[in-house]
Structures are given as C-alpha cells and as structure tokens.
Amino acid sequence: MRDAIIIGGGHNGLVCAFYLARAGLKVTVLERRGVVGGAAVTEEFHPGFRNSVASYTVSLLNPKVIHDMALAAHGLRIVERPLSNFLPLDDGRYLKLGAGKTVSEVAKFSQRDADRLADYSRHLDGAADLLRALVLQTPPNRVEGGWLAALPELIKAGRLGNRVRGMTLSAQRELLDLFTKSAGDYLDGWFKSTPIKAAYGFDSVVGNFASPYAPGSAYVLLHHVFGEVNGKKGAWGHAVGGMGAITQAMAKAAQKLGVEIRTDSAVAEVLLDQGRARGVVTAQGERLDARVVVSNLNPRLLYTKLIDQAALPADFLRRMQAWRCGSGTFRMNVALSELPSFSCLPGRKAAEHHGSGIIIAPSLQYMERAWMDARTHGWSREPIVEMLLPSTLDPSLAPPGQHVASLFCQHVAPTLPDGASWDDHRETVADLMIDTVERHAPGFKSSVLGRQIMSPLDLERTFGLVGGDIFHGALGLDQLFSARPMLGHADYRGPVPGLYTCGSGAHPGGGVTGAPGHNAAREILRDVARGRRLPGLR
Ligand SMILES: Cc1cc2nc3c(=O)[nH]c(=O)nc-3n(C[C@H](O)[C@H](O)[C@H](O)COP(=O)(O)OP(=O)(O)OC[C@H]3O[C@@H](n4cnc5c(N)ncnc54)[C@H](O)[C@@H]3O)c2cc1C
C-alpha cells in the first residue's frame, strides 16, 4: 500500500512529496490537469510564444527548498531584474526603483522622502527578517487536552515571544504597524510624495481585493518583501523558461526519489474509514488506498467538495464554508511584435525599464478608487496594471525580435454583481487592460499579436483557485499564522485523522514559496516517527 497520496501537483504538493519520499515514504501525486505545477506553470499561449500562465515572478521561493531539492541541478536558473520597478506617471514624469537609483529617483519628487528611504528599508527589512524566520516553522497551535498536550505549543509560543522581545522597541512598534495598519496609513507615516507611496503600496493590493487604506493591507505589503533572489533580500527575479521551470525541476527532484506523479487524475473524494482518511477515489472512479492523504488544494475546496461533510465537526465546517477567498485579480499574457515605447521614456530598444515590474497606478488614491469601482461595477474602469516583459530577460519565450508581456491586473470583483458572468465580460475587460497600457505606451495595442485571458472565473476553472484567490485564502489577520487555515489546525493537520494540508491555505500562505509543502511534510514525518495517527506506517 502507498504511504501517502497527495491531492494536487502544485508546487507545494511536489515539495511535500519530495520530503516525504526523501524520508523513505512511498508517495503518489494526483494532479487534475495534464501538467503539474498548479499556478506556477509555463505554457505556449500563442503559436511560438510561451509564458508563465498565472504566477509570473519569483522571490519568495525558500532558499532551503531550492537547496534541498537541488533545483539548480535539475535545470532551474533564476535571474534578477535589471531594475525593480518603473512607474510611468500621468504628468510625463516617471519613477524608477532599484539598480542603485532609488534615492536619486525619489529625490526628483521629494528630497525629504529620499532621505528617509534607508531608514524605511531598515525597518521593513527588520520585520521581514522575523517573517523569514517564521516561514519554515509550524505556528503555535491551539490544542485540545491537558497541559501535557499544550506544553510543546506553549514552548513554541514562548520562543516566538522571546524573539519579538529581543527586538528593539522601535522595531516592535514597526511590527505592530505592519500587522495592524493599512498600507496607506503606514506609508503616509513614512513618505510625502505620491509616486513612492504608489510604488511601495502596489504590493499591498496584489491578490488582495481591498483598498490600500484597508486595515491589514500593510501585512500584504510585508508578505511580498520577505523573499530574495540568489541571496539578495527583497529582490524579485525571473525563472528562465517561466515559472514552469521551477515546478518541472521540482517534479524531476521528486521523481528521482521514486515519487509517482499521475496527471489527468482529478480526485473526486477523500475516502474515510471509521473517521480517518484512508485513500481517495478519482474522477475516473479508481480507488487508491494510502496510509495518509495530503491536500494541496485550497482548504475550502477540500473540505466543502471532496469530503463527507457529516464527518466534519459542525463549527469547523461552518468556518471553512466562510473561509475568505477572492483576489480581485485579472491575468493576461500578450504576444507582442515589438517592445512598448513609453511616452515618458520613449524607445523600443530593450532598456532596463523594460526588464522591470512596470506599474501603472500612479497613487494610493487611484488604487483605492479602483477597488471602490470594482466593488460596485464589477471591474475598475481605471485598473491597476503591472506589466512585465520577461522575454527581455529570457529570449526563449518568444520568436527572435518579438516579445511576451505578463499583465497582472487589479481590481476586478471575484464575482460580478447582478448575477453577471465573467464569461460575458472577459474580452471587454481584456480590452480595457490593453487600453490602460496604451495610454502610457502609444502603439502598444497595435503590437498585440495574440492574448491569453484569465478572469477570476478562469483561474478557478483552470487551477481550482476558489474565487480566483491567488493565495488559497485572503492574507488577513483572521486567516494567518496560528489561524491559517483555522485556530486549532495551524499544524497542517485537519480535524480528520490522517488528512493533512500542504498548500497555500496553510502557513505561511500564498506565493511560490514551497514553505507549506516543506512544513507539512515535517509534521507528517513527526507523526510517522511517533507512530501517532498513522498506525501501520513504517
Ligand atoms: C494570477 C496569479 C499570479 C500570481 N503571481 C505570483 C507571482 O508572481 N509570484 C509568486 O510567488 N506567487 C504568485 N502567485 C501566487 C502563487 O502562484 C500561488 O500562491 C501558488 O502557486 C500556490 O501553490 P500551491 O502549490 O499551494 O497550489 P496550486 O498551485 O493552486 O496547486 C494546486 C493544484 O491542485 C490541483 N487540483 C485542484 N483540484 C484537484 C483535484 N480535485 N484533484 C487533483 N488535483 C487538483 C490544481 O490543478 C493545482 O495543480 C500568483 C497566483 C496567481 C493565480
């Protein structure tokens, strides 16, 4: 009999499979699609043009996972962007961030803000360091039972408390701000000029259907800075070959250890026997038994669609049904005959700004309006668009002389008002996104040779992302750390013995990190070692 079945071959499922197999377990991964990788895949979307379909830029992927899985030896190469960000502005000016230029660029708008940058980065990095230290840890969990059961969790909480106590008072204040405030209030407290607040505030609305002035959005900003590229903290880069290069390397690493990967194998049901998970039934009706079942899915999808609801505690089920999902994200890939030329910085020859994250959203107020409009209208008529041109760093993605663009757009409503369907509005909104780029880069529209469109509904249908939620559940304080996915289940174990979660709906949340997969495997192996919950497992 198999030791473990993993439902879903997203990157976290593959990471979990790798660590379980490395410990000697016999593992099968069942993936619904024809390809593994989940939201981190590369596909040809127009003849001769390939790109990352959903997730498109890399930073959060944990260095330990990269090392343990020997991803470089399995073909992964990550390159840094030549410039972090470029913001074309409505008044004909622009802001560049990165490449040693940030201070002089910000000084164009405010010398006072430029003088504050180093202090800001130091404070933000201090908070990000705490997050970095926590991503590979299992959060302190609320447990049932007496003091003996609670003791390990108390020790964990004590260690965390000690770590926070070891920070300076000023760093603790910053941490409190970042965990409780809105990104807008946080950034207003640091800076005066509009473009720098827009550049930094953009991270707070990525995958977060909210105003940058919504309390809690500062955490989403922080969530996007705890990563690194090739050892450079906070940097974002490109995986050569697209995000699929990461998951293809992961699949190879897992298969080398004997993991069986089956694609086109959707799981229809988790099998229970006397209250514990014993295996699965696929959509084709095949029954596969295993000693443990691990889910890479959004927890709401797992617990409301794949399992006998009568087997779940009523309070758990009620809360899982209300697990907050929905990102406000609209994703496009565009095949281009030539690079865009921006009115504020003309030229179609590849320059550093073409290799950056180009943010079309000039202010926090613009972002707030985008959210308010999407709330009532269904999508923002002045949307936030980040555009990357990955073929400038990776010519393998497009025919010679031509390019691909990733458009990552916010805000759109996960579900349209008045019962309207995304199937009827996908093309209109895609046109709007192209027009939004055209406003800053005349001629962009006529350079478009083909396009791939992912509305929230398409993200749900294609990848199983509930409400198009890119993180498998909103990154709000109510759904983070010891509360991810629920108080009492932050240790990757659900209420059904033998059923674990290893996807982004578990700590530390979404992004291509590999961390939930890594941590879940550790907890499963702990149970194996203790012989607890897993009778019969070697
Ligand atoms: C549009 C978009 C842009 C993003 N941009 C970035 C980015 O640039 N950088 C970044 O770090 N993160 C980004 N993210 C977030 C990141 O991609 C995700 O958080 C992460 O990939 C989720 O990984 P996962 O392994 O937890 O789950 P997933 O990747 O969602 O994998 C789950 C897998 O389960 C499969 N599955 C579903 N149902 C079943 C079933 N019944 N049976 C079998 N298999 C099933 C799915 O097909 C999928 O392969 C983005 C996400 C999206 C959607």
- Rounded to whole angstroms, how far apart are CA atoms 125 and 58? 18
Closest residue by Cα to atom 3, ligand 1, is 55
User: Cα–chain-centroid distance for residue 2?
Assistant: 30
**Over the chain, what is the mean pLDDT?**
96
Nearest to 178 by CA among 234, 238, 220: 220
CB atoms within 10 A of CB 33: 18
CA 468–ligand 1 middle distance (angstroms): 10
Q: Is 310 exposed, middle or buried (0-12, 13-18, 19+ CB in 10 A)?
A: exposed
Q: Is the pTM for the entire model greater than 0.95?
A: yes
- Those residues with Cβ within 8 angstroms of residue 241's Cβ, 6 or more apart along the chain or in another chain: 42, 75, 248, 394, 396
- Does any ligand 1 atom lie closer than 6 A to the CB of residue 62? no
What 154-163 contacts at long range (C-beta under 8 Å, 24+ apart), as own/partner pairs, is 160/134, 163/130, 163/133
Nearest alpha carbon, ligand 1 atom 50 = 55
Question: What whole-number distance in Å separates Cα of residue 32 and Cα of residue 389?
Answer: 30
CB atoms within 10 A of CB 151: 11
Helix (H, G, I), strand (E, B) or coil at 320: helix
Decide if pLDDT at 304 tops 70. yes
Atom of ligand 1 nearest to the CA of 502: 26
Tokens of residue 186, six digits: 């946080």
- DSSP letter at 315? H
Q: Where are the beta strands (DSSP E) in 296-433?
A: 330-336, 357-360, 379-388, 403-412
Under the banding of pLDDT at 50, 70 and 90, the label for residue 533 is: low
pLDDT digits (tens, 9 = 90+) for 361-410: 999 999 999 999 999 999 999 999 999 999 999 999 999 999 999 999 99
| 384: three-class secondary structure by DSSP | strand
Q: How many A from CA of 111 to the centre of ligand 1?
A: 41
Distance CA 96, CA 266 (A): 45
Take atom 49 of ligand 1 and give the residue whose Cα is closest.
Answer: 38
CA 105 to chain centre: 29
The Å distance, Cα 326 to ligand 1 centre, comes to: 14
Ligand 1 neighbourhood includes 32 CB (under 6 angstroms): yes
Among 264, 296, 408, 501, which is best to mutate for testing ligand 1, by the most ligand atoms less than 8 A from CB?
296
What is the full DSSP assignment across 99-144?
TT-HHHHHHTT-HHHHHHHHHHHHHHHHHHHHHHHHTTSPPP----
Cβ of 453 less than 6 Å from ligand 1: no
Class of residue 100 by CB neighbours under 10 A (exposed 0-12, middle 13-18, buried 19+): exposed
Q: Is the CB of 364 under 6 A from ligand 1?
A: no
- pLDDT tens by residue, 42-59: 999 999 999 999 999 999
* Contact indicator for 240, 234 with CB cutoff of 8 Å: no
Question: Tens digits of per-residue pLDDT, 423-468?
Answer: 999 999 999 999 999 999 999 999 999 999 999 999 999 999 999 9
Tally the C-alpha atoms within 13 A of residue 57's C-alpha that lie toward its C-beta. Answer: 31
What is the structure's pLDDT at 538? Answer: 45
For 69-125, write each residue's pLDDT tens digit.
999 999 999 999 999 999 999 999 999 999 999 999 999 999 999 999 999 999 999
**Which numbered atom of ligand 1 lies nearest the CA of 282?**
42
459 lines ligand 1 (CB under 6 A): yes
φ/ψ of 204, rounded to 5, equals -80, -15
Predicted pLDDT of residue 210 = 97
d(CA 20, CA 14): 10
Is the distance from the beta carbon of residue 7 to the nearest atom of ligand 1 less than 6 Å?
Answer: yes
**Which of 512, 513, 518, when mutated, tests ligand 1's pocket best, judged by the most ligand atoms within 8 Å of its CB?**
512
